[in-house]
Amino acid sequence: MIEKTDQKSTPRLRLSLRQLEVFAAIAHSGSTREAAGRVARSQSAASAALAELETALGEPLFDRVGRRLVLNENGRALLPGAVALLDHASELQALFTEEHAAPLRVAASLTIGEYLLPGLMAQWKLAHPNSAVHLAIGNTSKVIAAVAGLEADVGFIEGPQTHVDLRVLRWVSDELVVVAAPAHPLAAAQAAKSAKAARVSARQLAEASWILREHGSGTRLASDRWLIEHLGSLNIGFELGSTEAIKRLAAAGAGLACLSRHTVAEELASGELVALRTRLPVARRRLAMVVRRDKHLGRATEDFIGHCVAMAPAGR
């Protein structure tokens, strides 16, 4: 005898991947027109897919603010699960194609993105030739916003900033150093004295002109905490959003700079810049990775995180 199955045990699915794909695109862009371009559909098709999804759920997912669509409480609750489901679908689809999974989306601060990750990504690509990596570089605040907003799978940050929706994974250690051109008065005086007597005083540092990163960067937050705590105030001559520009200005004698030792290693080795020996305590900080607490990590993301931990630069 063939037993009858209980038809009520498996409810009919009311959602489709197409609807969720459109929903996630609208959540990212804020309009059906822009979302349609992201998912290669017409605007009318994108609008219809959203309407179908909201009808199936019985709740609106967006508030209409002028011409923009802004996620409401329902939409914010749905988004992490929708993105995770779409990631799973991409991985399943990749099993039957020559490609790996969907591109791995990485966001990184300038220090990490420009000086630490390139080598790690090159090694990753050699071991995973079909795995594409998209790297977005910005200051730490922007990296946190990208991961929290589901625009990046994993982020690399420098400062202690975090977000309620993020999980922080300790990564590598870093040291902040004060650098100057060899001809800078403080560097020249240091070179002319014995090592014991060549330490720059807090008063000399406070009176010097500084070239610092912009507010919002992890390096600026760390340097402010370190320097202002011991110097009281700083004479800031330049605030720049580019580490390379800061190094060039410092090498030209425009002032002192406070940067990650990772970023000035080549200039210190060549003699283009000099690390000042100061009477301040050593400033160390922990670089970290961040991921969404409620988002499933795809296979590529987990593998990339493991790779970065295993192949981390010296100084962990």
Domains of the chain in start order, with CATH, are: 14-94 (1.10.10.10), 104-172+286-310 (3.40.190.10), 173-285 (3.40.190.10)
What pLDDT does 207 receive? 94
Nearest to 216 by CA among 305, 129, 314, 144: 144
What pLDDT does 131 receive? 81
Nearest to 145 by CA among 302, 295, 290: 290
Strands 154-157 and 283-292 turn out to be antiparallel
Q: Which residues of the chain have pLDDT under 70?
A: 1-11, 94-102, 194-197, 314-316
Distance CA 130, CA 245 (A): 35
Cβ-count burial of 287 within 10 angstroms (0-12 exposed, 13-18 middle, 19+ buried)?
buried
What pLDDT does 3 receive? 45
Residue 265 is encoded by which pair of tokens?
């290693």
Looking from the CA of 152 toward its CB, the CA atoms found within 13 Å total 25
Whole-prediction pTM:
0.68
- Residues 15-25 pLDDT 10s: 888 888 888 88
What pLDDT does 10 receive? 53
Q: What is the DSSP string of 133-190?
A: EEEEE--HHHHHHHHHTTS-SEEEESSS---TTEEEEEEEEEEEEEEE-TTSHHHHHH
Give whole-number Cα distances, 177 to 102, 180, 276, in Å.
39, 10, 8
Q: What is the DSSP string of 4-29?
A: PP-GGGSPPP---HHHHHHHHHHHHH
What pLDDT does 101 receive? 54
Distance CA 136, CA 150 (A): 13
- Residues 152-199 pLDDT 10s: 999 999 877 788 889 999 999 999 999 999 999 999 988 877 555 578
What pLDDT does 11 receive? 62
Alpha helices in 195-274 (DSSP H): 202-207, 218-231, 243-251, 261-270
